[in-house]
Amino acid sequence: MTPDAAQTRAEARARDWIDAWNRRDLEAVLDHYDDAVEVVSPLVVTRLGQPDGTLRGKAALRGYFAIGMAKPDLHFTLHDVRCGVDRVTILYGREDGRRVADTLHLGPDGRALRMSACYAGPAPVLETRLTRAFGLTAPVVQAPMAGAAGGRLAAAVSTAGGLGLIGGGYGDADWIAREWAEAGHVPVGIGVIGWRLTDALLADILARAPRAVFLSFCDPAAPARRLRDAGIPVLHQVQDTEGARAALDAGVTALVAQGGEAGGHGAARGTMTLVPEIADLIAARAPDTLLLAAGGIADGRGLAAALMLGADGAVAGTRFWAAAEALVPAGFHAAAHAATGDATLRTRAIDRARGYDWPAPWTCRVMRSAFTDRWHDADAPPDPDARAAFLSAQAAGDARHGAPIAGEAVGLIRDTRPAAALLSEMTADAARRLSRSCA
């Protein structure tokens, strides 16, 4: 067999092995091993208490692997495959951000006679100014989606190497306190809707000393000054160059250039042109300011594109809205899995139904539904009965009579998985694509 053919075969077997783990097919995983296989791993020491870290035989391996498959958030992401004369090394990432190298010594039938595993802590797969500034291993910020991004989601993203943010939204102090407690001792940030920010809420946020504060839909000058004086990084989201100039004048840590593809509130400009235009503006006026791209970014392709457009990282909302830890009803997730990006629109109807008087020019991107069909173009706001029915549908996850708040990236989402797995996959895929583009 030629070296190229051996590499191709090894990569195919590695993908099969990773896929079997991710679908929790124990028999398919074990099929890669000889009946008399010997496995050496540091996890055998910690999980099974065996000092030499060695398992012998497929029966022992079955019980060991079953322990791993019992983890509800388990997910592997393939990074690379190295092929030798009689062995293959599979390099992959785990859901907790750790990197693993499994070397399989192969028998004549291609099954592993021996496997040795080596582990390392999380490391930057893509290093940018954002990862260096915040000590991240992935240049990804999870959007602070109001009501959906709670403490568990923010903590999961931060633990996995991104920057997780609690979606403080409209400023419910009790909700923020509860979700802050849910995050435990994991460093997370907080995002708020700027025109709802009060002095009392800002004081409460300052007292928590979050990892960062994400502001949107406001003049950032006054809150940014207080946050900066307290040593708290400020990420400010804008939808046009006028807003970008104001944010640069306010001395924010990072600008978030949000395209109209984004879910939730935003404006009309598209991500593809807005990001490089603001990148040029930053380079000319405040080159130390970080730039993040937002709007339609849900996988490694989007992250790679954001970096190529001149951003230091990406803000992902809808993809994490569909994470297992998000505070989103299952019915909304199911609707998103079946949707395309054509299934969304920007509207004011949802805010009228919820009693929020949003200022122009911001509208809210949601998934189309019977509710938006009826009220999107209506001259008058929904009547009391329609409002009550809408609010009930939102709480129940009824996507037909409510309106899931999600962006055009729903067309790229077909499952609900742990946030750490989503982040690992997104970053690894972006790194592979960027590496190929530079080859």
Mean pLDDT of the region 76-88: 89
Residue type, 379: D
Least confident of 58-67, 121-130, 210-219: 121-130
Which of 36-45, 55-64, 73-82, 271-280 is predicted most confidently? 271-280
Compare 363 and 126 and report the one with higher pLDDT. 363
Least confident of 21-35, 82-96, 142-156, 402-416: 82-96
Report the C-alpha gap between 290 and 128 in whole angstroms.
10
**Beta carbons within 8 Å of 20's beta carbon, 6+ residues apart:** 28, 29, 32
Report the C-alpha gap between 320 and 310 in whole angstroms.
23
Mean pLDDT of the region 235-247: 98
Name the residue with tokens 């079953």.
66
* CA of residue 144 relative to chain centroid, distance: 11
Please provide the average confidence, as pLDDT, over all residues in the chain.
93
* Number of residues that make up the chain: 439
Q: Judge whether residue 239 has pLDDT over 70.
A: yes
Report the C-alpha gap between 334 and 182 in whole angstroms.
25
Tens of pLDDT, residue by residue over 417-434, are 999 999 989 998 999 899
Tens of pLDDT, residue by residue over 363-378, are 999 999 999 999 999 9
Report the C-alpha gap between 300 and 306 in whole angstroms.
10
Q: Judge whether residue 155 has pLDDT over 70.
A: yes
Mean pLDDT of the region 130-141: 94
Q: Judge whether residue 439 has pLDDT over 60.
A: no
Give this prediction's pTM.
Answer: 0.76
Q: What percent of the chain has pLDDT over 90?
A: 82
Report the C-alpha gap between 81 and 129 in whole angstroms.
29
Residue type, 55: L
Is residue 260 within 8 Å of 243, Cβ to Cβ?
Answer: no
Q: Judge whether residue 438 has pLDDT over 70.
A: no
Q: Judge whether residue 123 has pLDDT over 60.
A: no
CA atoms within a 13 Å half-sphere pointing along the CA-CB vector of 115? 27
Name the residue with tokens 């000889």.
34
Tokens representing residue 41 in the block: 């791993």
Burial class (CB in 10 A: 0-12, 13-18, 19+), 277: middle
Three-state SS for the chain is CCHHHHHHHHHHHHHHHHHHHHCCCHHHHHCCEEEEEEEECHHHHHHHCCCCCEEECHHHHHHHHHHHHCCCCCCCEEEEEEECCCEEEEEEECCCCCEEEEEEEECCCCCEEEEEEEEECCCCCCCCHHHHHHCCCCCEEECCCCCCCCHHHHHHHHHCCCECEEEEECCCHHHHHHHHHHCCCCCCEEEEEHHHCCHHHHHHHHHHCCCCEEEECCCCHHHHHHHHHCCCCEEEEECCHHHHHHHHHHCCCEEEEECCCCCEEECCCCHHHHHHHHHHHHHHHCCCCEEEEECCCCCHHHHHHHHHCCCCEEEECHHHHCECCCCCCHHHHHHHHCCCHHHEEEECHHHHHHCCCCCCCCEEEEECCHHHHHHCCCCCCCCHHHHHHHHHHHHHCCCCCCCCCCCHHHHHCCCCECHHHHHHHHHHHHHHHHHHHHC
Q: Using alpha carbons only, what angle is made at residue 24 by residues 22 and 27, rounded to the nearest 5 degrees?
A: 125
* pLDDT band, very low/low/confident/very high, at 45 (cuts 50, 70, 90): confident
Mean pLDDT of the region 309-328: 98
Q: What pLDDT does 437 receive?
A: 67
Q: What pLDDT does 436 receive?
A: 77
Burial class (CB in 10 A: 0-12, 13-18, 19+), 215: buried
Is residue 363 within 8 Å of 266, Cβ to Cβ?
Answer: yes
Q: What pLDDT does 122 receive?
A: 59
Domains defined for the chain, CATH in brackets: 3-120 (3.10.450.50), 129-328+411-438 (3.20.20.70), 330-403 (no CATH)
